[in-house]
Amino acid sequence: MAQRVQGTEDLFGGYMRAWQHMQDVARDLFGAYGFDMVETPAIEQVDTFVHGIGESTDVVRKEMFRVVSGALFENLFEQGSEAGLKPKQRLAMRPEGTAGVVRAAVENNMVPQGAAPAKLWYAEAMFRGERPQKGRLRQFHQVGVEWLGAADPAADAECIIMLMEYYKRLGFDPSRLKLSINSMGDAACRPAYREKVRQFILDHADEMCEDCLERAEINPLRSFDCKNDHCREVMRDAPLAKDNLCDDCAEHYAQVKRYLDAAGVTYVEDPTLVRGLDYYTRTVFEVEAVDGGVGAIGGGGRYDGLMELEGGKPTPGIGFAVGFERIALALAAQGGSLETPQPGCVYVAGTSADEREAVFSATLALRQAGVRTEADYQGRSLKSQFKQADKLGARVCVVIGPDEVAANAVTLRDMETHEQTQVPAAELVSAVTARLAK
């Protein structure tokens, strides 16, 4: 029997409703902040991610699932390399949402010069070829936002405030969330800072792992969150971004913190917080659930250079992404749950096969009126239909027997009290909806 791919999950039942709930809460909350939903394709040209996320990142180098059509696959197999492929033929599954949304914003001119910012949110599956483990999947789901065209530090603060409110509405106790923030500088101050960190790593080469030595040349800031504990310890003495910000970045960061303070948001400043993707500038942030046991449950930051990297005009941007599976795990670890109960329904029961057509019509009429309605499709006895109705959480059962058919009526059975009343068939919908509203 074929099995699902390791590191992927099937979403159904309560788990599916949890994912929908996460989207519903996002739609309400982000909508109030002026964000509209967007969906970009799950496959993009590899270049979209190389330009945006950065050639040197683990995500692009090792974790992207590459896509080839069957015809191309055979060709590639024969040639043994992708060297002959055109950029249009080099495709990948999206490992994150930002690069694709920014590519779409450039391609569709969503932020024309002088126009109001584009404020977009998405709820999509992401794909990363990581080693599967708890809270680390190969296909996972993110809710994210991208706010393009706003350089104002208020946008950074509002994103963070909205994110923390989102966790609260999903059921997290805010006192058990840890929000870390940092500023990574910009094109004016980061190159010199990066060079200082590179030099620091080279000066401590004999104490650092192979990966960090490689990182020193391509992405030295990543050594701050090396998986090797000893490297991280050495990096504690490395130069910190906050001490190397230019005046503009320092003022931007200070203003973000003033806004957060004014909104009463609690945060810790973590000068070693560097997010894994190259495109971040200035503000970066990450959220962990205390005792959640799954690492970061969300994070984001500013990416003022990204629109240009994707071929657009210089346009500031900021956003975040929140992982559904990790939220579900972290909430469960804290004793909560994202799952919403299955919505109740009305059950239409027939006493015998003779009433099947009357049951059929009543079921349709209720559904047409928007009432979630179930019936029997397996020839069950009346008793077993009542059992089924209970299992489905039906509050009301519509019972149709020969007497009801003869009287052109239906019997309504309250599933809690088992009290029964007959009403004319013409009043079926109004009588049922009145009972459900009680």
Dihedral sign computed on CA atoms, order 421, 423, 425, 431: negative
The encoded tokens of residue 159 equal 């994103």
What residues numbered 229-288 form the site for ligand AMP, per CB under 6 A?
276
Of 129-137, 180-188, 259-267, 403-411: span binding ligand AMP (CB under 6 A)? 129-137
CB closer to ligand AMP, 135 vs 312: 135
Q: How far apart are CA 268 and CA 245, in angstroms?
A: 18
Among 185, 220, 299, 316, binds ligand AMP (CB under 6 A): 299
Q: Half-sphere exposure of 323 toward its Cβ, with a 13 Å CA cutoff?
A: 26
Q: How far apart are CA 169 and CA 94, in angstroms?
A: 28
Contact between 326 and ligand AMP per CB under 6 A: yes
* DSSP SS3 for 127: strand
Is 52 annotated as contributing to ligand binding? no
Is 142 annotated as contributing to ligand binding? yes
Among 44, 58, 96, 124, binds ligand AMP (CB under 6 A): 96
Contact between 106 and ligand AMP per CB under 6 A: no
Contact between 194 and ligand AMP per CB under 6 A: no
Is 267 annotated as contributing to ligand binding? no
Q: How far apart are CA 16 and CA 138, in angstroms?
A: 18
Among 130, 152, 173, 339, binds ligand AMP (CB under 6 A): 130
CB closer to ligand AMP, 38 vs 189: 38
Instruction: Work out whether strand 346-350 and strand 317-323 pair parallel, antiparallel, or are unpaired.
Output: unpaired
Residue type, 334: Q
Contact between 296 and ligand AMP per CB under 6 A: yes
CB closer to ligand AMP, 136 vs 196: 136
Q: Residue 264's closest CA among 176, 334, 147, 165?
A: 165
CA distances to 150, 158, 253, 288 from 263, rounded to whole Å, are 20, 9, 16, 20
Contact between 54 and ligand AMP per CB under 6 A: no
Q: Residue 124's closest CA among 147, 148, 93, 155?
A: 93
Contact between 302 and ligand AMP per CB under 6 A: no
- Report the residue count for the chain: 438
Is 253 annotated as contributing to ligand binding? no
Contact between 298 and ligand AMP per CB under 6 A: yes
Binding site for ligand AMP (CB under 6 A): 96, 128, 130, 135-137, 140, 142, 276, 296-299, 321, 323, 325-326
Annotated binding site for L-histidine: 96-98, 128, 142, 146, 275, 279-280
